[in-house]
């Protein structure tokens, strides 16, 4: 259970314990003040002073729109009654998630009517993700983001309706962890302690042989500096340039396709738990000039999936997103390895080796699905701390513009953009992981596991045949080499030759 003691009030603490040598740049605006106002208890103040760990709200974070408080505050506010329950009537026995799931079945005008039923219905029906789903469902990518998903919906569906004077009511005594956490995850800054660990190996100017021997062969991440300095993209790609060269072309952003202009209008304003992330695998086919403004770094030029020509699974993506967007924990598709180059902005990476499932992550037994916290910041809030005592501590880093990270196959990784970012990533298969990939494509549930292509079940045979045609004998040689290595490891465990 959350209380503003253990979460929100820490924002105040942080402010009071500001270290003189590092001036704090974030300030709370006036609108945010009321949410801390219920702390009249003198003990509270003392506790606040004692604790030095803090959470910061983003400078531009709106105050908790409807005054929702964490459930724990109900027990601090003696005599208070939870208007969440009184206003729901018989529905109060349902969980918040279930109430929202049910409201997810009704359309915008019905939500508007239900909002008038009670204070509680008002809060639930104004939950932004409900309106986001309506917008994406009804308007696809053809929306003009207008500060909130609700007003975007109204503006898109009822263009003549003027909602400029529509007020946003604050509701007293509404307590809900679920709704509070959703707002909190959208509004929190990354804590400095989540960012400070940087234990990845960094290399500049190494040879391909060194890369293969020290990183690709042993399947270890590395951050490569200076290997994309010649990319035109580094100089050219910014919002204005991309909008110009991409013109009316649409790109995949979450479940919809959007023009860049519309996407940037959205990403410039939005503050939500899980911002729409532009992640497009066909960007070079759509806008060939983008493909001519970057090249595959020298370390990753062997890409055996290319023997499949147009039938190869998706392998290259342009990735664009605002601060707070990113990728929650996953392993890359089809057992491939990847490289990810930041062109603008910066990204925080957390990586766990294949034999360590990250805390808070629950893959299904067949590996086809992964359950993990919806928002990345939620993972940091609830699970990052556990990694300190984890079996194998993760590899972490911040990858900045001009840097490239190598993500070895099978590694779990999570990425959050610390500022608005533009990146290119490619997944590839070299001789070092060809056998892994073939093995993966042959798994009995390949139909569910294989991704990025229509013909999932036959991909193994097609790939194996194409490799055999183009590089006859290669697979056998690799199998033999792998067997020799295994035998060697058996005779000399952990390299004690």
Ligand X SMILES: O=C(O)CCC(=O)C(=O)O
| Interacting residues with ligand X (CB under 6 A) | 319, 326-327, 332, 338, 340, 347, 413, 415, 423, 425
Nearest one of 72, 63, 78, 59 to 3, comparing CA atoms: 72
Whether the CB-CB separation of 108 and 153 falls below 8 Å is answered with yes
Nearest one of 271, 267, 373 to 65, comparing CA atoms: 271
Whether the CB-CB separation of 368 and 449 falls below 8 Å is answered with yes
Burial of 301 (0-12, 13-18, 19+ CB in 10 A): exposed
Q: Where are the alpha helices (DSSP H) in 81-231?
A: 83-86, 96-103, 108-114, 119-125, 128-139, 149-157, 177-187, 192-195, 208-211
State how far the alpha carbon of 379 is from the alpha carbons of 194, 197, 360, in Å.
Answer: 11, 16, 7
Residue 325 beta carbon to ligand X: minimum distance, rounded to whole angstroms? 8
CB of 132 or CB of 344, closer to ligand X:
344
CB of 179 or CB of 415, closer to ligand X:
415
* H or E, element range at 202: strand 202-204
Beta strands in 299-420 (DSSP E): 316-321, 326-330, 337-344, 346-352, 362-363, 370-371, 395-400, 403-407, 412-417
Nearest one of 15, 57, 68 to 32, comparing CA atoms: 57
* Integer Rg of the chain from CA: 25
Residue 118 beta carbon to ligand X: minimum distance, rounded to whole angstroms? 41
CB of 74 or CB of 416, closer to ligand X:
416
Reduce the DSSP state of residue 3 to 3 states and report it: coil
Residue 211 beta carbon to ligand X: minimum distance, rounded to whole angstroms? 19
Residues 203, 297: Cα–Cα separation, whole Å = 14
CB of 322 or CB of 326, closer to ligand X:
326
What angle, rounded to 10 degrees, do the helices at 149-157 and 128-139 form? 30
CB of 87 or CB of 408, closer to ligand X:
408
Q: Where are the alpha helices (DSSP H) in 330-433?
A: 376-383
* H or E, element range at 224: strand 222-225
Residue 317 beta carbon to ligand X: minimum distance, rounded to whole angstroms? 6
Residue 385 beta carbon to ligand X: minimum distance, rounded to whole angstroms? 22
Residues 113, 104: Cα–Cα separation, whole Å = 14
Question: Residue 34 has which token pair?
Answer: 């009321």
Residue 392 beta carbon to ligand X: minimum distance, rounded to whole angstroms? 20
CB of 149 or CB of 277, closer to ligand X:
277
120-123 contacts, C-beta under 8 A, 24 or more apart: 120/83, 120/84, 120/85, 120/86, 120/87, 120/88, 120/171, 120/174, 121/87, 121/88, 122/66, 122/87, 122/169, 122/171, 123/66, 123/68, 123/84, 123/171, 123/174, 123/176, 123/179
Residue 426 beta carbon to ligand X: minimum distance, rounded to whole angstroms? 9
CB of 100 or CB of 376, closer to ligand X:
376
CB of 95 or CB of 451, closer to ligand X:
451
CB of 4 or CB of 409, closer to ligand X:
409
CB of 88 or CB of 422, closer to ligand X:
422
Residue 418 beta carbon to ligand X: minimum distance, rounded to whole angstroms? 11
Residue 413 beta carbon to ligand X: minimum distance, rounded to whole angstroms? 5
Specify the residue for token string 């001009």. Answer: 402
CB of 69 or CB of 425, closer to ligand X:
425
Question: Residue 226 has which token pair?
Answer: 């200076």
CB of 155 or CB of 333, closer to ligand X:
333
Residue 55 beta carbon to ligand X: minimum distance, rounded to whole angstroms? 23
CB of 187 or CB of 334, closer to ligand X:
334
Residue 230 beta carbon to ligand X: minimum distance, rounded to whole angstroms? 21
* H or E, element range at 251: strand 250-253
Give the count of alpha carbons within 13 A of 290, CB side only: 26
State how far the alpha carbon of 34 is from the alpha carbons of 242, 272, 367, in Å.
Answer: 41, 21, 45
Handedness of CA 106, 109, 111, 113 (dihedral sign): negative
Residue 467 beta carbon to ligand X: minimum distance, rounded to whole angstroms? 24
Residue 324 beta carbon to ligand X: minimum distance, rounded to whole angstroms? 12
């Amino acid at each position: 259970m959350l209380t503003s003691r253990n979460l929100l009030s820490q924002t105040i603490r942080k402010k009071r314990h500001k270290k003189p040598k590092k001036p704090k740049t974030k300030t709370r605006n006036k609108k945010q003040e009321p949410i801390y106002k219920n702390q009249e208890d003198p003990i509270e103040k003392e506790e606040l002073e004692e604790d030095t760990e803090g959470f910061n709200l983003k400078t531009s974070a709106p105050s908790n729109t409807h005054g929702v408080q964490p459930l724990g505050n109900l027990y601090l506010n003696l005599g208070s009654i939870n208007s969440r329950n009184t206003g729901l009537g018989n529905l109060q026995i349902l969980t918040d998630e279930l109430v929202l799931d049910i409201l997810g079945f009704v359309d915008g005008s019905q939500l508007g009517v239900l909002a008038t039923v009670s204070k509680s219905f008002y809060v639930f029906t104004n939950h932004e993700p409900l309106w986001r789903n309506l917008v994406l469902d009804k308007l696809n990518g053809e929306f003009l983001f207008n500060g909130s998903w609700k007003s975007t919906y109204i503006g898109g569906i009822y263009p003549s309706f003027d909602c400029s004077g529509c007020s946003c009511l604050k509701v007293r005594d509404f307590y809900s962890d679920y709704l509070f956490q959703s707002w909190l995850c959208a509004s929190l800054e990354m804590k400095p302690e989540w960012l400070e660990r940087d234990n990845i190996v960094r290399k500049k100017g190494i040879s391909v042989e060194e890369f293969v021997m020290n990183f690709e062969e042993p399947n270890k991440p590395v951050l490569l500096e200076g290997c994309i300095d010649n990319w035109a993209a580094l100089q050219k790609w910014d919002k204005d340039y991309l909008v110009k060269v991409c013109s009316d072309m649409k790109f995949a952003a979450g479940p919809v396709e959007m023009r860049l202009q519309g996407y940037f209008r959205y990403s410039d304003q939005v503050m939500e738990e899980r911002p729409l992330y532009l992640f497009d695998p066909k960007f070079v086919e759509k806008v060939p000039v983008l493909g001519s403004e970057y090249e595959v770094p020298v370390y990753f030029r062997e890409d055996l999936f290319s023997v499949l020509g147009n039938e190869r699974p998706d392998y290259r993506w342009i990735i664009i997103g605002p601060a707070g967007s990113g990728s929650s924990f996953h392993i890359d598709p089809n057992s491939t390895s990847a490289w990810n180059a930041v062109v603008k902005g910066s990204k925080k990476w957390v990586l766990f080796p294949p034999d360590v499932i990250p805390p808070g992550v629950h893959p299904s037994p067949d590996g086809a699905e992964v359950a993990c916290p919806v928002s990345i910041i939620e993972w940091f809030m609830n699970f990052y701390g556990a990694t300190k005592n984890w079996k194998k501590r993760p590899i972490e880093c911040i990858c900045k513009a001009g840097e490239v990270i190598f993500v070895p196959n099978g590694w779990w990784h999570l990425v959050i953009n610390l500022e608005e970012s533009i990146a290119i990533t490619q997944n590839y298969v070299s001789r070092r992981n060809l056998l892994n990939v073939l093995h993966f494509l042959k798994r009995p549930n390949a139909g569910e596991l294989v991704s990025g292509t229509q013909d999932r079940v036959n991909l193994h045979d097609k790939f194996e045949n194409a490799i055999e045609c183009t590089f006859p004998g290669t697979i056998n040689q690799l199998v033999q080499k792998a067997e020799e290595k295994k035998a060697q490891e058996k005779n000399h465990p952990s390299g004690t030759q």
